[in-house]
Amino acid sequence: MTALPAPTSTPSPWALAWRRYRKSRLGVIGGWLLILLYASALLAPFLAPYSITAQHEGLSYQPPQRLHIVHEGQVRTPFVYGFKQERDPVTFARKNVEDRETPIPVQLLVRGEPYRFLGVPTTLHLFGVPEGAYFFPLGTDQLGRDLLSRTLVGGQVSLTVGVIGVLISFTIGILLGGVSGYFGGWVDNLIQRVVEVLLSFPRLPILLALSTLIPARWPSTWVYLGIVAVLALIGWAGLARVVRGQVLAARGLEYVTAAQAIGARDLRVILRHITPNLSSFLVVTATLALPGYILGESALSFLGLGIKEPMTSWGLLLKDAQNFQTLRLYPWLLIPGLFIFLAVLAFNFFGDALRDAADTQSR
Amino acid sequence: MLTYTLRRILGMIPTLLVISAVCFAVIKLQPGSFTDQYLEDPRFTRETAAAISRQLGLDQPALVQYGRWLWGVVTRLDFGYSFLQNRPVVSVIGDLLGWTVFLSLITLLFSWLVAVPLGLYTAFNRHGWPASIANFLGYVGLAIPDFLAALLLVALVLQLGGTNVGGLFSPAYIDAPWSWAKVADLLGHLWIPVLALGLEGVAGLMRQMRASTLDVLTQDYIRTARAKGLPQHRVIWRHAVRNAINPLISLAGLSLPSLISGTIIVSIVLSLPTIGPLLYDSLLNKDQYTALTLLMLSAFLLLVGNLLADLALAWADPRVRYA
């Protein structure tokens, strides 16, 4: 038997897809935005000037402080103005006003509150101001906690809920969808009925109902896992249905028959032979499913049924802005919403570009 | 057609039964029960709490409670009793359901009126900057959660000095009889929820309309229509749009239940009189029959939405009808 001539310079399908992805401007922007967001979540305690539970007395609802470089007509290194306590001449209410006299320099790599980074205890923060002064780039909340720190650390929750949730629901969906499509018969019938019922549940109402199952006295890490589980439980059904269709189509193909002929067990055929052939489809579906999880978590936390204090997430931070009076007086509490927006936008950009890159048929 | 519809409607019954059982199980699995609040209240003795529990039927096993509820629904359309409001669930839901459906339909209408022309425009003028802006706004619409959109609109109105936010009416009009002034007041309040709820729908529909129009434009019959010298507007409206809009018709039915879901959270933010805040309260306070009925109602609306979508598609697209 003569060997086939080796295709020397033909790029692999992945390389071709990568090339097509690179051409999509929005997709590349989305990709970089995602890297940036996840990096900021990973480095959150280092980037954050304060700890998320540190309450600064007398400094509740401070508006975001601007970074200045010009003081009395002179350019200097970046600085902020401190606060000075004054009484309102009419109402005599105490309030903090900007003290234009004393500029406070903002320093890089300062020692601050201790935290653990990947298990290593450290006190190094990216930036900060000298002891006694404060710098709140995004302002503070009702308890005088720094909103920037809380937003950065909240990102750890909001951004990982989606990834873990998708991993869980994809494991269930691929396994059940694969088994359903591969075996057919009564197994297929049973699984498809379950999927149908799950898909007939209205999503948000059943999410609300399920999240009330999480007991109030659970520690917040458990609650986090509970929320992920609830989201994944609802999410797998649609995927199982699509995977079933794909497996059903692949079942008759020669490579599957070949694998069966050499005695591969059924589960092995599904997971090692059929699933890899669906990999590009699965990656794209996962990317496009992720925003749903981020939005779901934020909606639940916003309603007070999701993540609990002392943990924080973007949805939970927005909960503080629910009251119209608060919203009118302290509009900066909406800033965490910008992060939800950016994360979902980035995933959609990235996912759409991946889909176009993986789709070879339409060309 | 008629037998098909009947078969679909009959097919809903087992699905709804399973859903009601699962929903009841979920509600019953919640830690604690409705009467727990009385145990902490010094005005109630342990015996009183037990008596209330017995009176509400909460001392029975869960299966019996579910059976009784189901029997009541099937035999006399009695959806149980709201513990929180001390009246039958049906009378609690009545008005709220009307407003929920009204709000959803208005939002649906709004999103179609905006999205279809935008989708067509971006499909026919693919490379201009207005199309790029519209496409980008589509992404933006998909990325803003509805409650955030509501908060942003409220914040904007408040910053501009407005006060007309929250609810559907100003206090003066809430109990007033219907008049033109009341309608005007309603419209003044309605735009915030409609915009917040519709944003996502507009974005999704616009992308769908654009994609299906682009699909249709490559078809042979469009070329034929052009080749036989039809004027451009006729090619577009009679040949392209009529076919491109089909996928959207089934989307409309599908989006109705998700709109109703969407009203839940937006209504809580804007304190609108829909079933959303009621579902939230009943779930938190373990008002089990209200919560169960509302969950069933939204599942029912979802199934009806699916059915309407299929029927509307069959009505609009002869290929589906005769297949």
Tell me the domains of chain B and their CATH numbers: 1-89 (no CATH), 96-320 (1.10.3720.10)
For helices B288-316 and B89-124, angle between their N-to-C axes, nearest 10 degrees: 40
Q: CB-based contacts of A250: which residues, under 8 Å, 6+ apart? A: A256, A274, A277, A278
Residues A123 and A154 occupy one common structural domain: no
Domain membership of residue A86 as a residue range: 67-135
Looking at beta carbons, which residues of chain B come within 8 Å of A291? 142-143
Co-location of A88 and A154 in the same domain: no
Cβ of A200 and B283 within 8 Å? no
- Per the CB < 8 Å rule, is A209 touching B283? yes
Does A3 fall in a domain? no
Q: Residue A346 pLDDT more than 90?
A: yes
Q: Is the minimum CB–CB distance between A206 and chain B shorter than 8 Å?
A: yes
**In-domain check, residue A72:** yes
Assess A65–B contact: CB distance below 8 Å, yes or no: no
- pLDDT single digits (tens) A128-177: 887 777 788 888 888 888 889 999 999 999 999 989 999 999 999 988 98
Instruction: Check whether residue A204 and residue A319 sit in a common domain.
Output: yes
Q: Compute the distance between CA of residue A344 and CA of residue A42 in angstroms, rounded to an integer.
A: 18
Residues A105 and A158 grouped into a single domain: no
**A179–chain B nearest CA distance, Å:** 23
Please give the angle made by the CA atoms of A304, A149 and B147, to the nearest 5 degrees. 35
Does A213 lie in the same domain as A107? no
Per the CB < 8 Å rule, is A345 touching B152? Answer: no
Does residue A55 form part of some domain? Answer: no
CB spacing of B294 vs A303 below 8 angstroms = no
Interface contact B26, partner A, CB < 8 A: yes
The per-residue pLDDT for A5 is: 61
pLDDT of B184 reads 81
Reported as type and span, the H/E element at residue B225 is: helix B220-227
Residue of B nearest to A350 (CA): B139
Residue A161 forms contact with B (CB below 8 Å)? no
A328 CB near a chain B CB, below 8 Å? yes
Is A344 in the B-facing interface, judged by CB distances under 8 Å?
yes
Cβ within 8 Å, pair A209-B23: yes
* pLDDT score of B95 more than 80: no
Last residue of a domain, one of A104, A135, A166: A135
For residues A276 and A175, membership in a common domain is answered with yes
Q: What's the pLDDT score for residue B321?
A: 62
A37 touching chain B per CB within 8 A: no
- Using a CB–CB cutoff of 8 Å, tell me whether A329 touches chain B: no
Over the stretch A72-91, which tens digit does the pLDDT of each residue have?
777 777 888 877 777 777 77
Which pLDDT score is estimated for A362? Answer: 46
Instruction: Establish if B141 touches chain A: CB-CB under 8 angstroms.
Output: no
- Whether residues A227 and A259 share a domain: the answer is yes
Contact B299, B293 (CB under 8 A): no
In a shared domain, residues A181 and A128: no
> What pLDDT shows up at residue B250?
74
A8 lies in some domain: no
Per-residue model confidence (pLDDT) at position A95: 74
Q: What number of C-beta contacts closer than 8 Å exist between A and B?
A: 120
Q: What span, in angstroms and rounded, lies between the C-alpha atoms of B213 and B227?
A: 19
Please give the pLDDT value at position A270. 83
Lowest-confidence segment of B135-144, B270-279, B310-319 by average pLDDT: B310-319
Whether B271 and B189 have beta carbons less than 8 Å apart is answered as no
Residue A344 pLDDT exceeds 90: yes
Within-domain flag for A230: yes
Given A213, A303, A341, which is nearest B144 (Cβ)? A341
Amino acid letter, B298: S
Report the number of distinct structural domains present in chain A: 2
* Residue A56 domain-assigned (yes or no): no
Whether residue A234 sits in one domain with residue A106? no
Do the domain assignments include residue A32? Answer: no
Shortest distance, CA B160 to any CA of chain A (angstroms): 10
Tokens of B311: 């029927």
User: How far is CA A163 from each of CA A226, A241, A310, rounded to the nearest angstrom?
Assistant: 15, 21, 22
**Interface contact flag, A299 B294, Cβ < 8 Å:** no
Q: Of the residues A107, A135, A163, which one is the last residue of a structural domain?
A: A135
For residues A312 and A337, membership in a common domain is answered with yes
| CATH of residue A189 | 1.10.3720.10
- Give the residue from A135, A161, A176 where a domain finishes: A135
Q: Do residues A352 and A254 both lie within one domain? A: yes
A119 and A238 belong to one structural domain: no
pTM of the model: 0.86
Which residues are within 8 A (CB) of B129 and not within 5 positions of it... i.e. 6 or more apart? none
Residue A136 near residue A148 (C-beta atoms within 8 A): yes
CA distance B312 to B303: 14
Model pLDDT, residue A363: 41
**Residue A62 located in a structural domain:** no
- The confidence band for B269, taking pLDDT boundaries of 50, 70 and 90, is confident
- Angle at Cα A24 formed by Cα A22 and Cα A27, nearest 5°? 90
Task: Kindly state the DSSP code that residue B57 receives in the 8-state scheme.
Answer: T
Range scoring the smallest mean pLDDT among A8-12, A100-104, B275-279: A8-12
Q: How far is CA A106 from CA A83, A117, A127, A263, in A?
A: 15, 23, 7, 68
The Cα A270–Cα A173 span in angstroms is 13
**Which residue has better confidence, B110 or B44?**
B110
Please name the residues in contact with A5: beta carbons below 8 A apart, sequence gap of 6 or more: none
- Contact call for A212 and B30, based on CB within 8 A: yes
